[in-house]
Structure 1
Amino acid sequence: MILRILNRFASKKLAFPNPSRKFSIMGSDWPTSYKFIWIDCEASKKSIKTKSLKFLCFKQLFAPKMTGLNHEVDTLLEVACIVTDSNLNEMSEGLRVVIHQPKEILEKMNEWCQKTHHKTGLYQACLESKSSIKEAEQQLLTFVRKHTKKGKCYIAGNSVYMDVLFLKKYMPELVNHAHYRLLDVSSLKILSSCWYKCSYDKKYLHEAMSDIKESIEELKYLRENIFK
């Protein structure tokens, strides 16, 4: 079924439903009143050799910054969040929370993370922050609940499953507030590049809030150039 849909999309024969109506895909309602929770995370990456070392930090639309990409041993440094409606309009000014981490944790990050987070100021911000992970989660929950209903919003971002792995471990209440389905811009990016040779030039600033805004703009670009 999925392959048939993708093949129709690739051949430009896939007809999309009227966005003003509710419609059904695979037996599930998708009301236009649903919201997107854009998150980006930064994490600390331990100084160990790994085949995935080049994927040191990542950005999501709900944007946590971690100490690395292994949610079993690495931890969160920063989480930024923007809530949009289904048309990608921001509901309000976003929220950024820097999490306190002691120097001994930050010093265990690999060279790339050390250099990047010193450059952006996140390293020093973590040392000076007074917010624990639990306190950060409550701040984010308060913000998200103000604009969304439980189960009626989708976590969105680039390779967002990785952010969710960290959030499930460190901020489970936040994850439980959202629908289990995810909006992954990376998947659309891959398809648009393969099928239409179309891509969005990103700056990769490795700053949570900036990265979220860029991800939203990327999806707007894909909507205007692919979904038309």
Structure 2
Amino acid sequence: MADKNSIPTKLIWVDLEMTGLDPAKDLILEVAAEVTDFDLKTLESYETCVRQKREAVVSLMQANIWWKDFPGNRDEFLESIVEGRPQDRVEQELIALVDKHFGAEPAVLAGNSIYNDRMFIKKYMPALDLKLHYRMLDVSSWKVLMQGKYGVVYEKKEIHRAFDDIQASIAELQYYLDWFKNNKG
């Protein structure tokens, strides 16, 4: 890991779609990552489904009421996990992405409610976790601040697909940054 005082020049946005929110029992279904600079320009993207046993995924989905509200997503995941990449391969591909773009620079994880994704990374992709800086850029923290202090509400579609969710998180952060730029003083 890089020196804690190193100044990052890029972010690695990660979004995971899982069977639920508990890393102790739930499984990762889909992973997307996007490396951006601080102007939020995309440098490289990555997206894949993770191979999982269908029976285990169905059982976990049935235990989570959330999946009843997103039957299209549920059905797509159930089809794609059989053809997905093995989790250890996904981890190695993500490590290669981090190494390519960050080298000795701190790889700051970014996203919405990113702490939960980080807990899944810590459990299921521990070698990747070791490559990530302890600091994270969580857009949901911006949301709390903007709503509570300034009354600024950003409406975002709930898509719940990893790549689309990253795009939505980047757009949300850009919205807040633009708000500050246009409301100086």
User: What do the CA deviations read for 1:136-167 (whole angstroms, capped 9, x no partner)?
Assistant: 10111112221112452200111111110000
Whether the 8 Å CA contact 1:78–1:99 is kept in 2: the answer is yes
Instruction: Identify if the C-alpha distance between structure 1 residues 133 and 154 changes in structure 2 by more than 3 Å, giving closer, same or farther.
Output: same
Q: Contact 1:151/1:178 (CA < 8 Å) preserved in 2?
A: no
For the pair 1:137 / 2:120, whether they are aligned, the reply is no
C-alpha distance in structure 1 between counterparts of 2:51 and 2:80, whole Å? 8
Tell me, in whole angstroms, the C-alpha distance in 1 between the residues paired with 2:126 and 2:32. Answer: 16
Q: Does 1:74 align with 2:26?
A: yes
Structure 1 residues 219 and 177 mapped into 2: Cα distance closer, same or farther (>3 Å)? Answer: same
- Pairwise mapping of residues 24-173 of structure 1 onto structure 2 (< 5 A)? 29=5, 31=7, 33-44=8-19, 68-92=20-44, 94-108=45-59, 109=61, 110-113=64-67, 116=70, 118-120=71-73, 121-129=76-84, 131-173=85-127
Residue 177 (structure 1) aligned with residue 131 (structure 2): yes
The higher-RCO structure (CA 8 Å, 6+ apart) is 2
1:226, CA displacement in angstroms?
Answer: 2.7
Displacement after TM superposition at 1:181 (Å): 0.6
Greater helix content = 2
Looking at CA atoms only, which structure, 1 or 2, has the larger radius of gyration? 1
What one-letter code is carried by the residue in structure 2 that aligns with 1:124?
E
* Equivalent position SS for 1:91: strand
Report SS of the residue matched to 2:42. Answer: coil
> Over aligned residues, Cα RMSD in angstroms?
1.7
Please report the TM-score for the alignment, with normalisation by the length of structure 2. Answer: 0.87
Check if 1:188 corresponds to 2:142: yes
Q: Deviations over 1:6-39 (max 9, x none)?
A: xxxxxxxxxxxxxxxxxxxxxx6463x5211101
Any idea what SS the aligned residue of 2:29 has?
strand
Kindly, what percent of the aligned residue pairs are identical?
A: 37
Quote how far apart the aligned CAs of 1:88 are: 1.3
Cα distance 1:150–1:165, how it changes in 2: closer, same or farther (>3 A)?
Answer: farther
> Following the alignment from structure 2 to structure 1, what is the Cα–Cα distance between the partners of residues 79 and 11?
31
CA distance in 2, matches of 1:163, 1:189: 18
> Which consecutive segments of 4 or more residues in structure 1 shift more than 2 A?
28-31, 110-116
